[in-house]
Structure 1
Amino acid sequence: MEKVVLGNTNIEVSRLCFGSLTMTPFQANLPIKEGADLIKYAFQKGINFLDTAEIYDNYGYIREALKEIKREDYVITSKSYAYTEKMAKDSLNLALKEIGTDYIDIFLLHEQESIHTIKGHYEAIEYFLKAKEAGKIRSFGISTHRVSGALAVKEFKEIEIIHPIVNKQGIGIHDGNIYDMLDVLKDLHEIGKGIYGMKPLGGGHLIKNVEESFNFVKNIPYIDSIAIGMQSTDEIDANIHLLEHGYIPKDITDRLKRKNRKLIVGDYCVGCGNCEKRCQQNGITVIDSKAIPNEKCILCGYCATVCPEFCIKVI
């Protein structure tokens, strides 16, 4: 698989990044060995880049996979909500210990909203920069669901990598549309920031138009790599074929169509009711301050487009 260097870093990654959230207790809840086997299978197919986060609670999968993958051949990103030095230190040490490694390639501040949240987290940033000097991380950056978060990266030379939402419909972007986001990302690419996009299928809501949606992101010249959730060998093969050929073979498509997909709502739902108002099928209802899908849900994904917390997904 084609490899690229993330921006001005010296970190070389595959054009596909293994999004590991989908295998976790939050979604598929795969056994450790099964999840580790998928990571190893993807690596054998050329995917040397994996995205995780402290909140995903899946470091055990990676530790198991690294028993058969040379650490220096693999690139791991983790993320944290830390905003103090102690929280940052604890987050990094947890990742190092539970993955069983001496360093994390890329450490990100999770879901940064703007220049104000970045400044509010600067005590943690200072710790991560010291950790970089000590060789415990190779590069530092942020993830964001907001155009304002991407804009803020311009103001911080110490932020080398950004992990933004990028999909054809802009699902999950809280403060603009996909073209607003792309305008900023193009500027960031030109000043040497590494960019790997998330949610090319909008958290599962664009699966019915998977080839068109994936190719839209793949063909953006300033997106270095694409993180996408994978929870089976068929999904790994499908995504590799999409990247390399632009389509999914019919036999794989047929098998994937047989998967029983469902709508899930994250525990961090605030019960705002936007989804209930948006749904024309009466397929989701707010009960006791949380959105609950029901048998009328047709997995159209329209509810996710109005969710301010991006907590509604199709798996």
Structure 2
Amino acid sequence: MKKVNLGNTGIEVSKLCFGSLTMTPFQANLTIKEGAYLIEYAYNKGINFIDTAEIYENYKYIKEALKNINREDYHIATKTYAYTKELAQESLELALNELGTDYIDVFLLHEQESIHTVKGHFEAIEYFLRQKEKGKIRAIGISTHKVAGAQAVREVKELEIIHPIINKYGIGIQDGTVEDMLRELEIIHNMGKGIYGMKPLGGGHLIKDVENAFNFVKDIPYIDSIAIGMQSIDEIDANIYLLENGFIPEDLKANLRTKKRKLIIADYCLGCGNCVKRCNQNGIEIIDGVATPNENCILCGYCAKVCPEFCIKVI
């Protein structure tokens, strides 16, 4: 698989990044052995880049996989909500210990909203910069669902990498359009900063249009790598085929269609009711203050487009 430089960081990663949230107890709930096998399988197919986060609680999956992976050729990106030196230190020590590694390739501040939240987390950034000097971190940055988050990366020189949400219809971008996000990302790329996108399938809502959706992101010249969730051998093979050929073979598509998918609602749902109003199938309702899908749901994904918190996913 083609390897690319992640901006000017000197970190050479595969064009596909293994999105590891989908294997966790929050979604597929794979065993550590099952999850580690998928990570190893993907690595042997050329995927040498994995995205995780402290909140995913899946470091042990990666640690197990690293027993059979060349660490020097494998790149780990993780994320934290830390905003003080003490919390940043706890996050780094947890990652190093639970992953069983001496360094983290990419450490991100999780879900940053704007220059204001970045400034509010600057004590953590300063700590990470000191740890970078010691060789415990190779690069730092942020993940974001907002155009204003991308603008913060443009303004803050210390941030080297951005992990933004980007997909054909801008599903999950909370403060603008996909065109708005792309304008910022092109500027960031031209500054020499690394970009690896998230949610190319809009949290699973674009699965029915998977080839067009994936190719849209793949063809953006200033995105270095694409993180996409993978929870089976078939999904890994399909994503590799998409990257290298632009389509999925019919036999592999048939295998993927047999997977029974479902709509899940994250626990941070506000119960605003936008999804209920948008659904023409009466497939979702507010129960005890939380959006809850029912037997009428057809997994069309229209509800996700109006969710202000992007808490509706298809797995």
Fold shared, TM-score > 0.5 on shorter chain:
yes
Which residue in 1 is equivalent to 2:280? 280
* 255-264 vs 271-280, which moves further: 271-280
Instruction: After superposition, give the CA deviation of every residue in 1:23-79 in whole Å (9 maximum; x if it has no partner).
Output: 001100000000000000000000000000000000010000001002111000000
Per the normalisation by structure 1, the TM-score is 0.99
Q: Kindly indicate whether residue 293 of structure 2 is the aligned counterpart of residue 293 of structure 1.
A: yes
Moved over 3 A (4+): none
Which residue in 1 is equivalent to 2:244? 244
Distance in 2 between residues matched to 1:40 and 1:9, nearest whole Å: 25
Instruction: Map 1:198-277 to 2 at 5 A.
Output: 198-277=198-277
* 280-289 vs 139-148, which moves further: 280-289
CA RMSD of aligned residues (A): 0.5
Distance in 2 between residues matched to 1:87 and 1:280, nearest whole Å: 45
Instruction: Map 1:5-154 to 2 at 5 A.
Output: 5-154=5-154
User: Aligned AA for 1:292?
Assistant: T
Per the normalisation by structure 2, the TM-score is 0.99
Distance in 1 between residues matched to 2:298 and 2:101, nearest whole Å: 43
Distance in 1 between residues matched to 2:306 and 2:116, nearest whole Å: 24
Distance in 2 between residues matched to 1:304 and 1:19, nearest whole Å: 20
3-state secondary structure, aligned to 2:264 = strand
Distance in 1 between residues matched to 2:271 and 2:53, nearest whole Å: 25
Alpha-carbon distance, 1:179 to partner: 0.6
Alpha-carbon distance, 1:154 to partner: 1.0
Alpha-carbon distance, 1:269 to partner: 1.1
3-state secondary structure, aligned to 1:111 = coil
Distance in 1 between residues matched to 2:60 and 2:225, nearest whole Å: 24
Distance in 1 between residues matched to 2:146 and 2:237, nearest whole Å: 31
Which residue in 2 is equivalent to 1:155? 155
Unaligned runs of 5+ in 1: none
Alpha-carbon distance, 1:142 to partner: 0.3
Which residue in 2 is equivalent to 1:186? 186
User: Aligned AA for 1:309?
Assistant: E
Percent of aligned pairs sharing the same letter: 74
Distance in 2 between residues matched to 1:77 and 1:125, nearest whole Å: 15
3-state secondary structure, aligned to 2:236 = helix
Alpha-carbon distance, 1:114 to partner: 0.3
3-state secondary structure, aligned to 1:299 = coil
User: Aligned AA for 1:13?
Assistant: V
Distance in 2 between residues matched to 1:108 and 1:167, nearest whole Å: 21
Distance in 2 between residues matched to 1:228 and 1:198, nearest whole Å: 7
Alpha-carbon distance, 1:95 to partner: 0.5
Distance in 1 between residues matched to 2:270 and 2:64, nearest whole Å: 35
Distance in 2 between residues matched to 1:106 and 1:124, nearest whole Å: 14
Distance in 2 between residues matched to 1:57 and 1:247, nearest whole Å: 33
* 304-313 vs 232-241, which moves further: 304-313
Unaligned runs of 5+ in 2: none
Distance in 1 between residues matched to 2:99 and 2:268, nearest whole Å: 26
Distance in 1 between residues matched to 2:164 and 2:154, nearest whole Å: 14
